[in-house]
Every structure is written in C-alpha cells, then in structure tokens.
Chains A and B, each alone.
Chain A
Amino acid sequence: MSHLYDTDDKHPPKSGLVLLQTLILVLFCLFAMRLWYLQIHKGDEYARKARDNQLRKEFIFAPRGVIRDRSGDLLAVNEPAYALGLVREDCKDIDATLQQVSTWTGADFEELRDLYRKRRRRVKPFEPLILIPDLTFEQLALIEINKLRWPGLEVQVRPRRKYMYGKLLAHILGYVAEANEEEMARDQELALGDYVGKLGLELMLEDQLRGIKGLRQFEVDVNGRRLEDRILKHPRAGHEVSLAIDLGLQKLVMDWLRYEAGAVVVMDADTGQLWALASSPSYDSNDFSSGLTPEQWRKLRDDPMHPMQNRPIQSAYPPGSTFKHVVAGAGLQYGAMDPRETVYCSGSTTLGRHVFRCWKKWGHGRVDLERALVESCDVYFYKLGKKLGVDRMSEFGAAAGFGRPTGINLPHEKAGIMPTRQWKRRRFGEPWQGGDNYNMAIGQGYTLVTPLQMARFYAAMINGGKLMKPVLVKDESPVVQARLPLDGEQVGLLRKTLIETVRNARGTARRLRTRGVIVGGKTGTAQVVRLTDELKAMKDEDIPYKYRDHAWMAATAEKDGRRFAIVAMVEHGLHGGSGAGPVVKAAIDYLFTGKVRKKPQHLIDRALAAQKADGTLPKGDSNGI
C-alpha cells in the first residue's frame, strides 16, 4: 500500500500556480470587457434591434421548367398564384384571424382551424403557414386592402403549373400537386407546400423540371411590416423540356377519339419518337395543380369510362387479327411453312369435336401466306398455329416485344401477357391444350397487348426489324432495344403483306389508301365476350355497348424516307376497319399532307348512339376539343 502515499513533500511548481492565476485574471478581464462592450456600450442599440427588428428569411420560389411540343409550342407553363399564409408569431388572436379569413374567402372556419392545427407544428418559426393555397383575384384584392389590420396574414406569390391543353396531354404530362409526407421524407429539398410531379412526365422528369429555390432575407418591424430585404440566393428555374409529341397531331387524334374510349399511338419507325400518344377519355391536369376537391376526385375515380387510365400503356387487350403478323413472323423464323405454300380455307376447320370458324363463312379457298394476311384468313392461321405450337409462337412474340413493358418513360406501364405453357399452368392450373394454339394464332387467346407494344412491333416491320424504344422527349437519342429474329428478306415479306392489305381491293385495311404514301395496315377485332347466337343475330347498332368487340387498326405509312407506325384501338368499336380505321386515316393524312380533318358529325353521332345503346353508361367525353 505504500505506493499510495507519495510522502515526497514536493510542492507543485510555482510557475504553474502563477500561470493558473494569470489565466483566471485574463479570462475575467477579457469577458468583462466584452460584456461591458456588448451590454453597456452597445446595449441600447442591441435592445432596439431586439425590440424593433427581426431578421427573417423566406424562400423565393423557382418556376418549374416549361414543356414544349416538337415544334416549340408551349404545353406547360407557370403562372403566378397567390396563397394566403399566416405567420403565427405575429398574430395576436389566431381564432379571430381565422374567422376573418373564413369571412373573406368563404372557407369553412372549422376546416381552417383543423388545417391550422395540423400544420402548426410543421412550419418553422416565422414561416407563413399556408391557409388558402389559391386566392381568386377578388379575394386577393379584399385581403390586400385589409391585411394591415390583421397582423400575421401574408400573401405569398408562388408559381403555379398551368397546362395550356389540360385534357389533351394529361396522360403524357401527368400533373403536379403538393408534396406529401413520404415525398418530403425522401427528398430533403422539399418543404411543406412545395409542388412535385405526381404522374406522367412531371413525375419522371422531376429532377430536370424542378428549379432550385432562392432565399431572401428581410427585416421586419414590431408590426410585422417589412423594412428592407436582401436576396441571399437567386432562384434557378427548372430546365425546359421539348417533347417528341406534335401538338397538331395530338389534337387531331384526340378529336377523332371524342366520345370514344380508346388509344392512339403514332411512332416514328426509325427513332421511336412518339408524335402522338392519346388516351380517351381524359382528365384535366389543371384540376390537380390547384388542389382537387374530394368531390372532383370521387367523380374521376368512379367514372365507369376510367379517364385516369392511360390506355396506350396501361390497357392490355386481346390483339385479334393484328397478331397474325406475329404468328407469320414465327412461321418464317422457324421455317414452319413455305410462304408460297397454300392452305384450303373452307370457312372452318375442326379439332376433335370443336369447330373453329373463319370469319368468312363460305371460306377463302386456296390461300398462301400473303393472301391469308391480306384477307385475314383465320383457317390458314389455325393450321399454322397448330404446326408452330405455343412455345415457338410465344418465343417470337416475346422477341417482338410482347409480354413486357416497352420501357417508355412513364409510370405504371403494364406488361401485357404473352402466354406460355408454364404461364397457363400457374394461372389456371391446367395444361396447354391444342385449342389454345388455335385461339392464340388468331390473337383471341390469352394474349394481351398494349397499343404501344403493337406500334413498336409494326414499326419494326417497316424499319428492317428493329424494336425501337418509345421516346417522348425530343432530344433523346434513339435506342434499338432488340431485333426481330428474321433476316432482311423475311422482314421485307411481312412489310409487303402489310402494304398489300391496303393496296388490294380485298384487303381488310383498304380504307387507309392515301395518294403518294406507301401505306400498310392490318385490322383486328378483339372479342369482349363469347358471342352468343342471340348477339350474332343482332344488328351492330343493337348490340349493347359493353358487349361490342374492341376494334384495332395497326398501320404503317412511308414517304420520302419518313416512316411511321400508327396504331388505334377503340374500345367496343365493333370492327377494326370502321371503328378504328378513320382516326388512323386522318393521322396519315395529317402526317404527310398537313391536312387537318375534323371528325365528321355522323361519326360523332355514331359514338354517342353507341353509348346510349347501353343505358348504364354516361355520355363520354369531348376530350376538351
């Protein structure tokens, strides 16, 4: 234990003790002088500063990048909107002030108070809490006049998104709305009340479109009046974006889809650029930027025509006869038939006890591949499908881009279905049957495709077999996603049959003929329900709307090195040619002659009548045209 007691009577170093005392003295003098300077010498000045003035800061909102079409027309811009905010610290009597706001704007007092309570904890000291996001000019005038008597109230100017053609491009542009909790948690830059893209390109291009907020510092006096301000950081507007979309064409196809439910895709076959991407019925993007009322939201959600559905990429339909080119492609790839070989079509063929009919009751007679495609002979394809089998058809279908998303830069794209044996077993627990091959071969089986996938495949048939990534932004470079597993000659053959289908007097797409333009095409009809004898006996116009078949028209058009794929899909349009053909024809005319043809009255009447035929459906939509 002896080590515990250092009995050495040594004294601590004198110099050290002196040092410590000196340090205490220095500390005392230094701070005493500084305190005297701050509290006595400059005390009055500081006291006045503390009493009279406060430094505050506020964001300067940055405008979102504008969006233009391919020729520079403005599609989405910003306009000033006036929001009424409340700075809690300046407010003498919250309830009375809210009451006054309620009187001015007609907003419900209780709701205002709830809003206030909900947001109170979320705003920083001296930051305005937004009560009314969007004042009308009358309200603004009223408030500006009386504001000074109600300390704490502040009018904030911020840019609001405005869509020049609300309904025309809603499914492409999407919309912006106030950021929610989740988005704010994910993104540090976002503050309460900031607008962010929620759908469409506004969502996908958020990083480019969003500007960077600036910061302003200002002093306020005891009444909350501003004295002087200083910009600390200038705001930076978001980047401008130009779309591949051609406004005129988009307008045209939306016009032709009036009162119909359907989709139109116009794609540049060489670059994948989308000149039009239409979905009908539509909604108005502008409704969202100033906040949707619950009632508006309910109406949109419960509309049986589903205006929020982005049909070209989110609706997958049976492809009908438009799929026959896929089956033909598979036949060529695997050498399952010689294109010159003929098959006899008597109007039907049998498999076991089942009878599979051709749409042409009395048959086509002897048909080779070209004629089978031109006249859309079902029997030829029943037999080809039987020869190929599901695996090969499915393999080529996948290679043609079906059964998976196209990768277009839009949210929530659907993949569609390219069935395989395994898929059927998983889905229905049943094995693949011979009859399934027959149905698949004419596009009536389990296969489901989106109009965009269809457009991409039809573009591939005229550009030498390249599957192009669908592109919405003008300066995005073209991407070849895949190639059809066919040689140039085989692709040429498919293209030839497409053109023949329009050129030939018996071709199903002959209505698309356009002087000076090499047009190809294929009609398709997708059964919605199994046709009962009762329905078969009915005249077209008597069939209830919801039982009518969907109409497809997939077309290609080439002239002077410009090549396009145009696909239209009209729900319950009955027949490809008459239901979906007119809009495709109008689009071709516009693309190559610039002519704008209005939808003729008799077609509008037909569409309206179709909807009336089914009493349960409301009148469709004029698409804002």
Chain B
Amino acid sequence: MAFDRRLLLHINWALLGLAVVLFLCGVLNLYSASGFRLEDGMSVAPYYRKQLLWGLLGMLGMVTFMVIDYRHLKTIAWPLFWITVALLVSIFFAGKTIYGARRWLDLGFMNFQPSELAKISVLVVGARILSREREKLDFLRLGYVLGVGLIPAGLVIRQPDLGSGLSILMLLGGMILFRGVTSRVFKTALVTIPCLLPLGWFFLHDYQKQRILTFLDPTKDPLGSGYHIIQSEIAIGSGRFWGKGFLEGTQSQLRFLPEKHTDFAVAVFGEEWGFVGTMILLALFCFFLYQMVVIARDARGLFGSYLAAGVFFYFFWQILINMGMVLGLMPVVGIPLPFISYGGSATLVNFCLVGLVLNVSMRRFLFK
C-alpha cells in the first residue's frame, strides 16, 4: 500500500505542535533542574541531553505510528496483547531488579519496561472490543472488558509497580465511561467501588500505605514523603506570579528531592516560571487533551474514536495524578508528568501514542 500523499493535508498540526512544545518545555525545565551548579562541579547527570535523545527517538516512533494505517491494529490487537502478557510473565524470570522492583527487561542497548507496552496493548484491545457493539455495557460485557484488562494490570502490580498497574486499569475505565454503561451498572458501581476501596488497602505495600497516611497528615513523616509534599509546595508557591526566572530557582528546597527531575519536575517549573508559567503549561495540556476529543469526534469509524479516547485518558490520568501530587492534593504516587518528567520509555510511548492519534485524524476522510 503506497503512502497516500493526501494524508499529509489532514494532519492535526495543532496536536503535533502542542506535543512538541510541551516536550521542549520539559527539556528546558530538565536543563534547569539537573543543571544545579555547586562551585565544585557537583551536578546531577545531564538528564536533559538524554531526554532530548529519547525525544528524537520518540518522534521517530511517532512518524512510524503515523505511516501505517491504524486500522491494521485491529488485526494484530490480540496477538500483541498476548505477546505483552508473555513479556510481563517473563520478567519474573529474566527481569532486572532496580530499586527492589522487577520492572525491566535488559535488551542490551536499553532497559525496556514491558509495563509501558502493556498500556498500548490494553488500549488497542480495549478499543477493539468496545468499538464492536452499539449498546451500552451491561454487566456481562463489562466483566469481559475488565477481565481482559486485569490480566496485564495484575502482573504489573505484582512487580511491584502500583502506579503503572492502576494507570492501565484507569485507562480502560476511562474508555468504558466514554462508551457509556447502563444506568444499572453505573448505580451498582457507585455503591460498590467505595466499598471495595478499604479492601484494596490490604493489597498495598507498607510504603504505599505510609504515603497515603502521610498525605492525610504530612507532618507525620516530615522527612520522608511528607517532606516531599511540603518542599514541593514551598517551591511552587515561592514562584509567585512571575516566577524567579529560568535557572534562577534556588531549588534549595528541592535539592533534597531525589525526584526533582522526574515526578516533581513541575515543581521546578513552577518555581522558575511562576503562576504565569504554570497557567500556560496547564492551558497547553488542556488544549492538547482537547485535540484528542476533536479527533475522537471526527474519526472515521468507532475503532479510531475509541483509540483517541483511550489516548486521552492515558494522558489525562497522568496529568491529574502527577500534578495533584506535586500540588499537594494527592498522596505521593510515582507517576510522571507526560513530556515534562524525565523518563526514557515513557517519552517514547507518549510520542508513539500521539502518532497513533494523529494517524486516526489523518485518515478520517478516507473512503476506499
């Protein structure tokens, strides 16, 4: 199948531009966050350079995801899904342990996290299942969809990577809400989910429980995760309206923060660019998300719509949880902010998913 040049006309340039701008904001911010200078050359490794490389690789992935007609994904949805599950299982035998969690597969040139792949697989399979039928979901169908999602999610949570595991489930949950459920299901969920939450408490690791308790009372653990929350609020707040300026963030608060280039990256941003900067960043994210809605609306065929909706939720949850944490509205969960936090696999996946959605938008007028 030759590449149809007309497709280029229909690229959603807004989405592409927003993604690149957000990514560049992130790199700029990493430059500042990791460029902390002490007179004796003590500085964090230059993450921004690595991030740039990952970004370039990501854009390559993005283009790849744009070129091939997305509808082929329908065909390979299930094989891809089972391959992912197999990888997740293999990690228990061949995985690399980093910080006490087996999440990585060593591919020689890079450490690959299959949990990132799992997000894509669940997205595609979910879109395939959900786009098949018209009716709202009743219990039977809902159970089927959730069951499919639970397999990889459970494996990821066992790694243990609660953050990624939950984000898989939340991604699927978002797609289900997008599709709509029968009012009976909705009412039941409204009653049962709050009841199930305390049960989930028993599945949490001790440190995870600790974080939730800390969130409820940050002064309880003022030198642990509570310290992070306090310090990140101080950093952001101290940016005030105009911010302290690029590279001017004293970060004195954040030098204790091991995650200032990853999970708490936006705290550095808020300190240096102030309310103006954070509002612009927030607006960029909202426009970025809105483009997904536009693409979901105009997509040709339900499969594309659900893909776009899935990608919407993929980004939405991360933004909500990460910023909620950094701004002290949520417990500390290790979820990065798309494009802003440092992260190899994550950046790659982010761009690939943007490519996927662009793909859906490009082919919205195709009749063949």
Interface, chain A (partner B; CB < 8 A): 3-8, 10-13, 15-17, 19-21, 23-24, 27-28, 30-32, 34-36, 38-40, 42-47, 49-51, 54-55, 57, 88-89, 94, 120-121, 125-126, 215, 217, 232
Find out whether the CB atom of A50 lies under 8 angstroms from the CB atom of B253.
Answer: yes
Chain A residues with CB under 8 A of B223: 57, 215, 217, 232
Question: Do A6 and B301 form a contact, CB below 8 Å, given A40-B241, A94-B40, A120-B42?
Answer: yes
| Alpha-carbon distance between A167 and B239 when the two chains are bound, in angstroms | 62
Complex CA distance for A51 and B301, rounded to whole angstroms: 56
B158 close to chain A: CB less than 8 A:
no
Asked if A49 contacts B234 (CB within 8 A), the reply is yes
Q: A19-B178, A47-B240, A94-B39 are in contact. List 13 more A-B contacts (CB 8 A).
A: A4-B75, A5-B301, A10-B134, A13-B180, A15-B180, A17-B296, A20-B178, A21-B290, A21-B293, A28-B286, A38-B327, A39-B274, A45-B237
Chain B residues with CB below 8 A from A232, complex form: 222-223
Which residues of chain B come closer than 8 Å to A34, judged between CB atoms? 327-329
Given the known inter-chain contacts A39-B241, A50-B252, A120-B42, please indicate yes or no for A17 contacting B297, CB distance below 8 A: yes
Of the residues A3, A16, A28, A89, contact of B75 by C-beta under 8 Å: A3
A38 neighbours in B (Cβ, 8 Å): 233, 236-237, 270, 327-328
Query: Which residues in B have their C-beta under 8 angstroms from that of A6?
Result: 71, 131, 301-303
Q: State the CA gap A126–B253 with chains docked (Å).
A: 11
CB under 8 Å from chain A, chain B span 296-338: 296-297, 299, 301-303, 305-306, 309, 312, 316, 319-320, 323-324, 327-329
Interface-lining segment among B27-35, B187-195, B275-283: B275-283
The CA-CA distance from A97 to B274 in the complex, in Å, is 36
- Give A12 to B309 CA distance when docked, in angstroms: 10
Q: Pick the contact of B235 from A3, A16, A50 — CB < 8 Å?
A: A50
Q: For B293, list chain A residues within 8 Å (CB).
A: 17, 20-21, 24
Report the minimum CB–CB distance from B20 to chain A (whole Å): 20
Q: Are A12 and B236 in contact (CB under 8 A)?
A: no
B186 to chain A, nearest CB (A): 11
Q: Is the CB of B239 within 8 A of A24?
A: no
* List of 5 A-B pairs having minimum Cβ-Cβ separation, nearest first: A46-B237, A16-B178, A43-B240, A12-B305, A50-B238
Give min CB distance, A66 to chain B, whole Å: 30
In Å, the complex CA distance between A40 and B279 comes to 12
The one of B38, B40, B69, B233 that contacts A4, using a Cβ cutoff of 8 Å: B69
Proximity bits, B229-271, A CB within 8 Å = 1, else 0: 0110111111111000000001011011000000000000011
**Which of chain A's residues have a CB closer than 8 A to the CB of B72?**
4
User: What distance in Å separates the Cβ of B3 from its nearest Cβ neighbour in chain A?
Assistant: 16
**Could you say which residues of chain A place their CB within 8 Å of the CB of B278?**
35, 39
Judge whether A44 and B42 touch: CB under 8 Å.
no
For B320, the closest partner residue in chain A by CB is: A27
- Complex-state Cα separation, A36 to B270, whole angstroms: 11
Q: State whether B301 touches A24 (Cβ < 8 A).
A: no
Q: Which of B176-220 contact A (CB under 8 A)?
A: 177-180
- Smallest Cβ-Cβ distance to B250: which chain A residue: A50
What are the residues of chain B within 8 A of A24 when measuring CB–CB? 286, 289-290, 293, 316
CB-nearest residue of chain A to B285? A27
Q: Is B227 an interface residue (CB 8 A)?
A: yes
Give chain B's interface residue range (CB within 8 Å of chain A): 35 or more
Question: In the complex, A217→B285 CA distance in Å?
Answer: 38
Residues of A within 8 A of B179 (CB): 13, 16
Q: Give bound CA distance, A6 to B300, whole Å.
A: 8
A47 and B299 CA atoms in complex are apart in Å by 47
Contact, CB under 8 Å: A13 / B178: yes
Does B156 reach chain A (CB closer than 8 Å)? no
**B270 partner, pick from A4, A20, A35, A51, beta carbons under 8 A:** A35
A-contact 0/1 string along B326-352, CB 8 Å cutoff: 011100000000000000000000000
- Choose from A3, A40, A50 the contact partner of B275 (Cβ within 8 Å): A40
User: What residues of B have a CB within 8 angstroms of the CB of A11 in the complex?
Assistant: 305
| Nearest-CB residue, chain A, relative to B278 | A35
The prevalent SS among residues of A at the interface is helix
- Is there an interface contact between A43 and B296, defined as CB atoms closer than 8 Å? no
Which residues of A lie under 8 Å from residue B39 when comparing CB positions? 94
Please indicate the chain A residues that have their CB under 8 angstroms from the CB of B319 in the complex: 27
- Rounded to whole Å, the gap between the CB of A339 and the closest CB of chain B is 69
- Judging by beta carbons under 8 Å apart, are B74 and A3 in contact? yes
A91: nearest chain-B partner, CB-CB: B39
Nearest-CB residue, chain A, relative to B255:
A125
Assembled-state Cα–Cα distance A20/B309 (Å): 8
Residues of A within 8 A of B235 (CB): 50
Asked if B292 CB lies within 8 Å of chain A CBs, one says yes
Q: List the A side residues contacting B301 at CB < 8 Å.
A: 5-8, 10
Residues A43 and B239 in contact, CB atoms below 8 Å apart: yes
- Residue of A23, A39, A44 with highest tally of chain B CB at under 10 A: A39
- 24 residue pairs from A and B, CB less than 8 Å apart: A6-B301, A10-B301, A17-B296, A20-B178, A21-B293, A27-B285, A27-B316, A28-B283, A31-B324, A35-B275, A38-B237, A39-B236, A40-B240, A40-B275, A43-B240, A46-B240, A50-B250, A50-B253, A50-B271, A54-B252, A120-B40, A120-B42, A125-B255, A217-B223
Bound-state CA distance A13–B316 (Å) is: 19
Q: Which residues of A contact B328 (CB under 8 A)?
A: 34, 38
Quote the shortest CB–CB distance from A549 to chain B (angstroms).
62
Q: How far is the CA of A187 from the CA of B230 in the complex (A)?
A: 30
Q: Tell whether, in the assembled complex, residue A32 and residue B282 are in contact, meaning their CB atoms are under 8 Å apart.
A: yes
B241 touches A43 (CB 8 A): yes
- Measured in the bound complex, the distance between the Cα atoms of B240 and A51 in whole Å is 13
A residues less than 8 Å from B5 (CB atoms): none
Is B37 interfacial (CB 8 A cutoff)? Answer: no
- B6 interfacial contact with A, CB 8 Å: no
Q: Does the CB pair B237–A42 fall under 8 Å? A: yes
Complex Cα distance, B286 from A120, in Å, reads: 44
- A125 to B39: give the CA distance in the assembly, Å: 14
B302 engages A36 (CB within 8 Å): no
Contact yes or no, B40 A28, CB < 8 A:
no
Give 1 or 0 for each of B52-79: 1 = CB within 8 Å of chain A CB: 0000000000000000010110110000
- Whole-angstrom distance between the Cβ of A562 and the nearest chain B Cβ: 54
Given A24-B290, A54-B252, A125-B256, A49:B238 Cβ within 8 A: yes
Give the nearest-CB partner of A53 in chain B: B234
Distance of A605 Cα from B177 Cα, bound (Å): 100
| Cα(A375)–Cα(B367), bound, Å | 121
List of A residues within 8 angstroms of B367 by Cβ: 7
From B227, B233, B316, contact of A23 by CB (8 A): B316
Q: Are B286 and A27 in contact (CB under 8 A)?
A: yes
In the complex, A50 Cα to B236 Cα: how many Å? 10
Instruction: Kindly list chain B residues whose C-beta atoms are within 8 Å of the C-beta of A125.
Output: 255-256
Chain A residues with CB under 8 Å of B286's CB are 24, 27-28
Q: Are B238 and A51 in contact (CB under 8 A)?
A: yes
Q: Whole-angstrom distance from the CB of B174 to the nearest CB of chain A?
A: 9
How far, in angstroms, from A82 to B214 measured CA to CA in the complex? 36
Write out the residue numbers on chain A whose beta carbons fall within 8 Å of the beta carbon of B302: 6, 8, 10, 12
CB-CB nearest in chain B for A120: B40
A21 contacts across to B, CB distance below 8 A: 290, 293
* Closest A residue to B71 using CB positions: A4
Tell whether, in the assembled complex, residue A50 and residue B256 are in contact, meaning their CB atoms are under 8 Å apart: no
CA distance A32 to B152 in the complex (A): 35
Q: Which residues of B contact A28 (CB under 8 A)?
A: 282-283, 286
A20 in contact with B296 given A3-B75, A32-B279, A40-B275 (CB within 8 Å): yes
**B177 proximity list for chain A (CB < 8 A):** 16, 19
Residues in B neighbouring A31, C-beta threshold 8 A: 282, 323-324, 327
CB-CB nearest in chain A for B240: A43
Task: Determine how close the nearest CB of chain A comes to the CB of B344; give it in whole angstroms.
Answer: 25
A301 to chain B, nearest CB (A): 36
Q: A20: which B residues are within 8 A, CB to CB?
A: 178, 289, 292-293, 296, 309, 312
Q: What is the distance, in angstroms, from A124's C-beta to the closest C-beta of chain B?
A: 8
**Cross-chain contact B42 with A121 (CB below 8 angstroms):** yes
A16 near B309 (CB under 8 angstroms)? yes
Which of chain B's residues has its CB closest to A233's CB?
Answer: B223
B74 contacts A4, C-beta separation under 8 Å: yes
